[in-house]
A and B are shown apart, each in its own frame.
Chain A
Amino acid sequence: MKRRTRESNSLVALGSLGIALLLLASSCAPAAAPAAAPAPAPAASPAAPAPARPPATSPGAPSATPTPVVPAAVSPSPTPRPAPAVAAPKKGGILTIIVSGDPSHYDVTVGSLDIVATAGIMHAGLLRYDMQDNSKVVPDLAASWDMAADGRQYTFHLRKNAMWHDGKPVTTEDVKFTLGKRIKPDPGGLQDTSDFDAVKSIEIPDANTVNIFLSQPSYSFLPALAGAQRNPILPKHILEKSKNYRKETVGAGAFKFKQHATGVLFEVERFKDYFLPGLPYLDGIRGSLIQDPGTRLAALRTHRVQLTSLGAGGLQPTDMPVLQQIKGITVVPYATGSFFHAMPNLNVKPWNDVRVRRAAHLVVNRTEVNQLVKQGTAYVGGFLLRPNEFARPMEYYDKLPGYRLPKDQDIAEAKRLLAQAGYPNGFKTNALVRRSGLFPQLSAVLREQWLKIGIDATLDLQSQAVEAERRYSEQWDVLCCGSGTGIMDPDSSLGRGVLNPLFTFAKTDKKAMELFNLQSQTLDTTKRKAVLHDLEDYLFEQLPAFPFFYDSGPQAVWNEVKGYGVPDGIYSIHNYVTVWLDQ
């Protein structure tokens, strides 16, 4: 009896201790769901002055040569967009956003999403995308522009009141210097890019005018300039000293650098000398750097943050049903432009045999891949970026070998081709896979599908550092990868993907590169579309890659955030100029 009493007393004591701990911890969490605490908005100011409306296209000054309408950059996304706010914008408040990584430095030209989503907010380009409809290119540092009839000359008229965050004025020298350093980068300087391959020379006839001459017309030239988060204009007085922009934080955007606590947050504050009077509305933006997907969703649900930054915001399709149930959040899907494909090494047997490549292409059930990897939310497609005005309708692909269902016919044909190529029982191969994002899942699904015809792929999962090293030196049989599209244009999706100059196909196949260059220079939309379709047909013949799908992702925004359009494209990071908080 005594022993049982002693035991009971001990248990009671222990239980009390445990309960005490839990109560103590619980006291650190509120009982009811609190509203999260972005910085309190100041008292409503008198109605903010209406911002100067930038022209949707450049009016330009009358000139001797006719000024054709600037070609649209991309087609409107098929997904519906939130209607623009109709109430008068309120000034003040700190917008809280999620970023899914920690920027290692601040050079946005390198194109890493974490850097673009944070440091990119501080910058401005000559042009930018209209955040309500990113098929339109609108003025940014350039107040207006003209294009010559032959598409080989662009004249940009710089704003006179644009300032750098360190107080110096933005000049045409800055424009010329920055673009010059992108066209001919210094070793170890700004990132190489193919966006300006067509630029022949840049002239500055006066203090506010920049003439850019192209060696050939380029459909994607203006969209490339509009990507401020990848192709910003940088200050000459800083860039010529530091050569690269990894440690520099001076830009000309609406927000300037405030602080970066690594692993925790990246914060910017309003730049009071921004060139659009009355803008921005926000006092600042605070980016929480959250690596864990569960924590990102939790932070959004509990209103610790108000929206997810595109691309690096990291929500998954499986998060959508959860978010859609929360009152006060709007969830909008958007096309990221990221493409997923597998690329065989054309220098390696048996992938150098087009029959083997065709067999591997035919057997893949893309609908199943989309379902298993993206819960059916991605855009299955071919070599042309989707959704996009140049892409073919899905009905076209549904009839193609490799896409049609059921798969019996394709699988039979694949086996026949393999036998013809000398591999009736299949073969073993090695697939290099980056251990991040969707790549491991995608490669696992692909492996299972290839096994149906005896292609036994060993998945070589590697960290980003190792995968990058081996990717660029083509040390792989199959590269199971994808990439983000720099701009929502086939120039970028093809140029970074199947026609990437790093890889063998682009170096050796003249016809593909001729068609690619031709479409790039064709300014007429209908003609360009025809060339792109010819190119895609040719790529389906040669199969330098096996396309799967183009990614989509959910963007989630709490309803007090107004004036925020959801642009397509993983790099189309919002500049937040017109965003305001209704609270």
Chain B
Amino acid sequence: MRRFLLLIPTLLGISVVIFLVMRVVPGDVALLIVTGGGEGSGGVVRQESLNAVRKELGLDKPLHLQYVAWMGDVLRLNGGASLWSGRSVADEVKRRFPVTLELALMTFLISLLISLPTGVLSALRQDTWSDYMFRVVSIGGIAMPTFWSGTLVVLFLVQTFDWIPPLGTPSILEDPKTLFSQLIWPAMALGYYQAAVISRMTRSAMLEVLRQDYVRTAWAKGLRERVVVVRHALKNAMLPVITLSGIQFGHLLGGTVIMESILVIPGIGSYLLHALLTRDYPVIQSIIVLLAAIFVLVNMAVDLLYGWLDPRIRYD
């Protein structure tokens, strides 16, 4: 309960920081609106136009009043409206967040399916050729930037099948097959990176646990390898892996922006990126606070999972 209540000042602090940062960062949203993103007609930019736009958007008010107005929108759960289009942030988030969540979950699942077995095997077969192979592949995954792997995915599909996933993302209830065919590719590209990171942690954790006395005892008792690894070793090795996985999942929710841009996936990441480039303050602020909240909640869930996995750990 106490940890849950600590969420409030955490988010409050984040909201203040992001609000102030956006006001300090160079780039005038009124100028961008009046000139159409800086291109515009190349004509005269009149100060009265800038002032009128600032007044229309409420940017002429003192900062603390702007903050209060925005926080009011946040507490009403609508996040305010885009300075450019006037669309409600909440409506956009409702439309986009499920897409990002679906992509993140798919990525997470793929990464676990790959990373856990490879990490365990790598630890069990330490210093054999299979261990070296898994380590090389996982280092490759960590080193490969996602924008490159995303581009490779598109190239692979075009060259091999003369096909790319459908553009646009239907709802999972409307057309799950099309949604799956669109998301599986970026999920695999992203999952490779996630799997590489988790696999290395799994290997390290397993190596440490396998050296423990109780594991040696289990071997000495003649238990089968599967029993020793799964029932005795893996469960204890999972604690740091769960921590890392939680952090990675949190990152996924805001970190799929590159993949979303490459594959035309209307998720939270591309929405945030567009807002950053156009200095759409309410969108940026609301999304950052939302992602921060999700990140903190995910980490809380991870901590609770700790308690379930390890009865020695208890929280207030």
- A-side residues, CB < 8 A to B, are 6-7, 10-11, 13-14, 17-18, 21, 24-26, 28-34, 102, 104-105, 107, 109-113, 115, 185-189, 191-195, 230, 246-247, 261-265, 288-292, 294-295, 298-299, 301-302, 304-305, 434, 462-469, 471-472, 483-484, 486, 495-497, 500-502
- With beta carbons under 8 angstroms apart, the residue of B38, B43, B260 that contacts A434 is B38
Closest A residue to B185 using CB positions: A25
A289 CA to B167 CA, complexed, in Å: 9
State whether the Cβ of B222 lies closer than 8 Å to any Cβ in chain A: no
Closest B residue to A247 using CB positions: B86
State whether the Cβ of B121 lies closer than 8 Å to any Cβ in chain A: yes
Docked-complex contact A472 and B117, CB < 8 angstroms: no
State whether the Cβ of B184 lies closer than 8 Å to any Cβ in chain A: yes
Docked-complex contact B130 and A7, CB < 8 angstroms: yes
Docked-complex contact B42 and A304, CB < 8 angstroms: no
Contacts of B92 in A (CB 8 A): 262
Of A115, A263, A299, A497, the most chain B CB neighbours within 10 A belong to A263
A451 CA to B84 CA, complexed, in Å: 42
In the A-B complex, the 4 residue pairs with the smallest Cβ-Cβ separation, listed nearest first, are A465-B27, A188-B52, A468-B38, A496-B42
Minimum Cβ distance to chain A for residue B31 (Å): 6
A33 CA to B35 CA, complexed, in Å: 43
Contacts of A186 in B (CB 8 A): 52
Docked-complex contact B45 and A472, CB < 8 angstroms: yes
State whether the Cβ of B310 lies closer than 8 Å to any Cβ in chain A: no
Number of A-B contacts (CB under 8 A): 230
Docked-complex contact A109 and B41, CB < 8 angstroms: yes
State whether the Cβ of B166 lies closer than 8 Å to any Cβ in chain A: yes
- As a 0/1 sequence over residues 117 to 155 of chain B, the CB contacts with chain A under 8 angstroms (1 = contact) are 110010001001010000000000000000000010011
- As a 0/1 sequence over residues 21 to 33 of chain B, the CB contacts with chain A under 8 angstroms (1 = contact) are 0000011110111
- With beta carbons under 8 angstroms apart, the residue of B55, B160, B184 that contacts A24 is B184
Minimum Cβ distance to chain B for residue A35 (Å): 10
A292 CA to B188 CA, complexed, in Å: 19
Closest A residue to B134 using CB positions: A14
A112 CA to B37 CA, complexed, in Å: 7
Given A104-B84, A295-B262, A469-B26: A29 in contact with B161 (beta carbons within 8 A): yes
Closest A residue to B166 using CB positions: A304
Of A6, A18, A264, A299, the most chain B CB neighbours within 10 A belong to A264
A26 CA to B34 CA, complexed, in Å: 47
Docked-complex contact A262 and B271, CB < 8 angstroms: yes
Contacts of A302 in B (CB 8 A): 158, 162-164
Contacts of A21 in B (CB 8 A): 110, 113, 188
Contacts of A496 in B (CB 8 A): 41-43
Tell me which of B66-74, B234-242, B273-281 binds A. B273-281
Known: A14-B118, A464-B38. 16 other contacts (CB 8 A): A18-B114, A28-B165, A29-B181, A191-B34, A194-B41, A246-B33, A246-B85, A261-B95, A290-B264, A304-B167, A462-B26, A464-B32, A465-B26, A466-B27, A472-B35, A496-B41
Docked-complex contact A102 and B274, CB < 8 angstroms: yes
Contacts of B160 in A (CB 8 A): 29
Given A294-B151, A298-B154: A191 in contact with B130 (beta carbons within 8 A): no
Given A104-B37, A111-B40, A112-B37: A31 in contact with B161 (beta carbons within 8 A): yes
Minimum Cβ distance to chain B for residue A548 (Å): 17
Minimum Cβ distance to chain B for residue A403 (Å): 25
Docked-complex contact B40 and A110, CB < 8 angstroms: yes
- B-side residues, CB < 8 A to A, are 26-29, 31-46, 48-49, 51-53, 55-56, 84-87, 92, 95-96, 110, 113-114, 117-118, 121, 125, 128, 130, 151, 154-155, 157-158, 160-169, 177, 180-181, 184-185, 188, 225, 260-264, 266, 270-271, 274, 277-280
Docked-complex contact A187 and B41, CB < 8 angstroms: no
Docked-complex contact A463 and B56, CB < 8 angstroms: no
Docked-complex contact A301 and B162, CB < 8 angstroms: yes
Docked-complex contact B121 and A14, CB < 8 angstroms: yes
A299 CA to B48 CA, complexed, in Å: 43
Contacts of A113 in B (CB 8 A): 39
24 intermolecular pairs with C-beta atoms under 8 Å apart:
A14-B118, A28-B180, A29-B157, A29-B161, A34-B162, A102-B274, A111-B36, A112-B37, A112-B40, A187-B49, A188-B49, A188-B51, A189-B49, A194-B41, A195-B41, A246-B85, A263-B264, A264-B264, A295-B264, A305-B167, A465-B279, A469-B28, A500-B42, A502-B44
A31 CA to B56 CA, complexed, in Å: 54
Docked-complex contact B86 and A246, CB < 8 angstroms: yes
Given A34-B163, A264-B168, A298-B154: A468 in contact with B35 (beta carbons within 8 A): yes
Docked-complex contact A261 and B37, CB < 8 angstroms: no
Contacts of B32 in A (CB 8 A): 464-465, 468
Closest A residue to B181 using CB positions: A28
Contacts of A483 in B (CB 8 A): 39, 42
Docked-complex contact B41 and A111, CB < 8 angstroms: yes
Contacts of A14 in B (CB 8 A): 117-118, 121
Minimum Cβ distance to chain A for residue B264 (Å): 5
Contacts of A192 in B (CB 8 A): 41, 43-46, 49
Docked-complex contact B184 and A111, CB < 8 angstroms: no
Docked-complex contact A261 and B52, CB < 8 angstroms: no
Docked-complex contact B44 and A110, CB < 8 angstroms: no
- With beta carbons under 8 angstroms apart, the residue of A24, A104, A191, A484 that contacts B85 is A104
Minimum Cβ distance to chain A for residue B164 (Å): 5
Docked-complex contact A265 and B167, CB < 8 angstroms: yes
Given A14-B118, A301-B162, A465-B279: A486 in contact with B38 (beta carbons within 8 A): no
Minimum Cβ distance to chain A for residue B223 (Å): 14
Contacts of A464 in B (CB 8 A): 32, 37-38, 277
Docked-complex contact B38 and A187, CB < 8 angstroms: no
Docked-complex contact A191 and B157, CB < 8 angstroms: no
Docked-complex contact A465 and B86, CB < 8 angstroms: no
A263 CA to B95 CA, complexed, in Å: 11
Docked-complex contact A467 and B38, CB < 8 angstroms: yes
Docked-complex contact B264 and A495, CB < 8 angstroms: no
Docked-complex contact A10 and B121, CB < 8 angstroms: yes
Contacts of B49 in A (CB 8 A): 185, 187-189, 192
Minimum Cβ distance to chain A for residue B75 (Å): 25
Contacts of B51 in A (CB 8 A): 187-188
Contacts of B169 in A (CB 8 A): 264
A7 CA to B52 CA, complexed, in Å: 72
Contacts of A262 in B (CB 8 A): 85, 87, 92, 266, 271, 274
Contacts of A472 in B (CB 8 A): 31, 35, 45
Docked-complex contact A295 and B52, CB < 8 angstroms: no
- With beta carbons under 8 angstroms apart, the residue of A6, A31, A263 that contacts B270 is A263
Docked-complex contact B85 and A247, CB < 8 angstroms: yes
Contacts of A290 in B (CB 8 A): 167, 264
Given A247-B86, A295-B263: A6 in contact with B225 (beta carbons within 8 A): yes
Contacts of A501 in B (CB 8 A): 43-44
A294 CA to B148 CA, complexed, in Å: 11
Of B48, B118, B163, B225, the most chain A CB neighbours within 10 A belong to B163
Minimum Cβ distance to chain B for residue A254 (Å): 24
A189 CA to B48 CA, complexed, in Å: 10
Docked-complex contact A288 and B28, CB < 8 angstroms: no
Docked-complex contact A187 and B158, CB < 8 angstroms: no
Closest A residue to B259 using CB positions: A292
A463 CA to B118 CA, complexed, in Å: 42
A312 CA to B154 CA, complexed, in Å: 21
